[in-house]
Chains A and B, each alone.
Chain A
């Protein structure tokens, strides 16, 4: 009985894995058309000079500026580590006296995928913002942006390099 069941199971499995379709019978056709439905030519837009990428504001995109210091994070982490206390103290001082808006930029290493990595960068930026706000910097003068993995400061395949890319940069909005 067991043997019969096994034979039936094997045959059924082989049949199911081989199901397909037959070629239909065809009537003769003789059609002429053109390729107009493939569509016309598409545009090509150059956004150089339209802000980021123009050189000016991108010149120092990959590290903090205006007296701020970058804050670095562990792999996949978005909590501020104790060894970043000195950097944060500097940022509180600079941020408290800043007259312009502060842009807080979250960044990641390359080991993530599209949207999730940008959200991770944002969580890092928000952690820095919340810490600054808790120490007296006005929330209304801070703006968050996540750059995900798009703006590495280092491209070497080394742990040290990846560490440098998992960071939050701060600068004044000009």
Chain B
């Protein structure tokens, strides 16, 4: 008898840790804790694309268990068919894109059809329609007093290689249904949001003899050169109030991490190592950073105070942990888990923290790279490659919900959101 319990216990621990949130192996264990909701489309031109964006928003929130049937019905009706009575909520919506985009939403109680929420959203263009849906679901989520998911309304900015020596910087919504190239021509890399409102971004331009960091206002096109450097120059992180940057630069031909004060236009060298130090990210109270270094002979994650030389190793497994991101005390990093010199390597993501050695895997299959925390640290974005297909993945760290969106674009150079 006790062997049965041992097996049961082992199986449960195995499935709830190792395979907990892998994008392909997600086990839907908490369906009973999410509220059941159905979508009813009252649009003149009903679209599966629009419906699927609604579904994605509801799923990644971690708070809703959405009916995947695309119901149709008048948005103004309070009558609910018997088949929807079992739902706790019914979201009626109507999207009109004949002149710009207008989205009307009404949230009804499934039991009696009473209206709980109603809003109308409109913008003068059609291409940014996905943001209307994201805003509506974020608002409904707020109204129901669930943990904030406003990150779904934010832009993703990313650079892709368009041909040898050329790149483009693009904006997208988190589902990549909206995409727009904002910088084309030349080699412009490493886009990084400059402020919480996403009005400006930093990027590295190679149009001069040496790389230069520019700040671009994405709404009026104004830009200014911040700093340039021999060798390489990357804005790896921006502090919470936007006054300081963590730069990887090489004024003496040696890639190290510097903190750049935008007010005084001065820089402070944070790391000083003969090998490779890159990818600095503010951690904890922004007096410390985590970064990637090969000081042990391979790429790994380290932590250092900005104002003192003491450096500590953060990760104690893997032989190639070459990218990381941080939010507060949380750290996510990618680890190469095979050793093929060319292609076919498995990269997995792991979550750890600056204050403890607790580490858990976030993915278990494929090539998972470019991990980035959402602005609130609740969700991790990453690029997943399995075979020849690429996807943008999201893992909600609280609800353990995960989503993958096909990424039909060129090779990603860098991404931020």
Contact = CB atoms under 8 A, between A and B. Distances in A.
B278 A53 contact: no
B185 interface: yes
B333 to A, nearest CB: 11
Interface stretch (A41-49, A64-72, A79-87): A41-49
Interface residues of A, number: 82
Interface string A138-149: 000001111111
Given A13-B16, A146-B231, A150-B189, A35 B5 contact: no
Contacts of A18: 29-30, 32-33
Interface in B214-265: 216-221, 230-232, 234, 236, 248, 250, 253-255
Contact of A47 (B161, B171, B185, B230): B185
Contacts, number: 253
B185 A49 contact: yes
Contacts of A56: none
A58 interface: yes
B185 A115 contact: no
A35 B34 contact: no
B290 to A, nearest CB: 13
Contacts of B128: 38
A17 B221 contact: no
A150 B35 contact: no
A145 B206 contact: yes
Contacts of A20: 30, 32-34
Contact of B187 (A2, A44, A53, A115): A53
Nearest to B206: A52
Given A43-B219, A48-B184, A162-B342, A119 B2 contact: no
Interface of B: 1-2, 5-6, 8-9, 12-13, 16, 29-30, 32-35, 63, 88, 101, 103, 109, 114-123, 125, 128, 131-132, 135, 143-146, 153, 161, 164-167, 171, 180-190, 205-211, 216-221, 230-232, 234, 236, 248, 250, 253-255, 275-279, 292, 299, 322-323, 334, 341-343, 345, 369-370, 411, 413-414
Given A34-B120, A47-B205, 14 more contacts: A13-B12, A13-B16, A19-B33, A23-B144, A26-B116, A33-B120, A34-B122, A40-B219, A50-B185, A116-B276, A123-B255, A148-B189, A159-B342, A173-B209
